[in-house]
Amino acid sequence: MNKILVVGIIGQSVFMKCKDFPKNGETIQVENIYSEVGGKGFNQALTIKNLGGNVKFVCALGNDYYGELCLNEMKRLGVTNHSFIKNNQKTAYANILTNCQGDNQVCVYPGASLEVEDLENIYTLIDEAEYVLLQLEIPFEVNLAIAKYAFNNKKHVILNPAPASNIDEILPFVEIITPNEIEAEMLFDKDYSNKLLNRNFLSIITRGKNNTLLIKECIKEFKVEPVEPIDTTGAGDAFNGALTYCLSIGMNIHEAIKFANEAASITVNYQYVLPGIEALKN
């Protein structure tokens, strides 16, 4: 089994359930409030760990209450981590609003960040891994340096370009990108399918309840089983973690996408993120 390094953030997540999302300028009352640790990188690393993968998670934490809480939760959940503690910085914080249809809106304060000064230690961890999974919740210059180093050392680099921002500079060093459909349109325009043909990387586009797309020399669709979601928050993280896990144990890309679709479909049957990811335990 190949080793996986996930680089990202962890922080406190606060969920609020409402009937409908507020309109501009509108104040609404929420029906329920719940908190748990989260962050795309952490969610993806936990998914890989629960599926039985060999994973290490790299993150930065503030020297504060939430930083201590995150460390304790990573230990409790069994996620092996390499944490950089940043004095005088706050730990990441997210607010997730979910409506009665299971759709969500997410606001993230990125908090304490990995920095260029941390790279030498991160490079050592990359040397020990075969797969490196990245998102866009850490500073771009750090992501770019990690991707370049991993690529030059013949590692498999997977980029989940979320939240979406310009990624042109990092694409030469990436093997697979995994945007959802909204992110793909933001990054490559509405004609993203044709624009992603015959690139140096594979593109996997998740589209919620619609079939997942694999784009390289051609466009191939992978069926998503219909479900009535309770909460879609974290489904994309479960997909990315499951995809990377499958590739690390030798599945081909078609097998990996099918498995990742199934994993994501399981998580949306649970309220909040951690219960869904915990349901994936091997």
What amino acid positions are annotated as catalytic residues?
Answer: 237
Pairing of strands 81-86, 54-62: parallel
Any residues with CB less than 8 A from the CB of 81 and at least 6 apart, and which? 45, 56, 57, 58, 59, 71, 74
Which residue has tokens 């994936």? 280
In angstroms and rounded to an integer, the radius of gyration of the C-alpha atoms of the chain is: 18
Rounded to 5 degrees, φ, ψ at 246 are -60, -45
Residue closest to 192 by CA, chosen among 171, 176, 208, 213: 213
Burial class (CB in 10 A: 0-12, 13-18, 19+), 180: buried
Contact criterion met (CB below 8 Å) for 147 and 159: yes
Rounded to 5 degrees, φ, ψ at 94 are -135, 145
The helix (H) or strand (E) run that includes residue 221 is strand 219-222
Rounded to 5 degrees, φ, ψ at 159 are -115, 120
